[in-house]
Amino acid sequence: MIHGNRIAFLREQRKMTQEELSQKVGITRAALSHYENNRREPDYETLEAIANFFQVSADYLMGRTNNPSQHLDHPTRQFVDSLELSDNEILEKFNLTIDGKRLTPEEARRFIAFVRAERSLKE
């Protein structure tokens, strides 16, 4: 989840406290803390309120683009949202990277296995 990191980054850039930002967007400080620490995901209305406050796109907050002012068109957004990383064709066509280094197919499979195991523990 990238949204929490981006929300915290934007808030810190403006030298705001969590309390100040939460009041500006109409949520509790505790909820904002959960979002920034990637323990929960904001609902659509909250995401839009945060994006509007910082004058960035929701696509940027959600990690769909690294350009804060870029909005993805609907077909591109649908495509990005529907990528299935366990599909070998997808893994071969896209450069999945961590720390600027491309993941090998084996690393990608281990990553997917890790996420699946983590999710199963939460259920």
pLDDT, position 96 = 74
What is the per-residue pLDDT for 120?
A: 77
- Consecutive sets of 10 residues in the chain, 123 residues long: mean pLDDT of each? 88 96 96 94 91 88 78 66 66 72 80 79 72
Domains and CATH numbers, the chain: 3-72 (1.10.260.40), 83-122 (no CATH)
Please tell me the predicted confidence (pLDDT) of residue 66.
81
Looking at beta carbons, which pairs linking 49-56 to residues 24 or more positions away fall under 8 Å? Answer: 49/25, 50/7, 50/10, 50/21, 50/25, 53/21, 53/24, 53/25, 54/10, 54/14, 56/10
Output the pLDDT for position 100.
75
Buried b (16+ CB within 10 A) or exposed e, 18-50: beebbeebebeeebbebbbeeeeebeeebbebb
* Angle (nearest 5°) at CA 48 between 14 and 122: 95
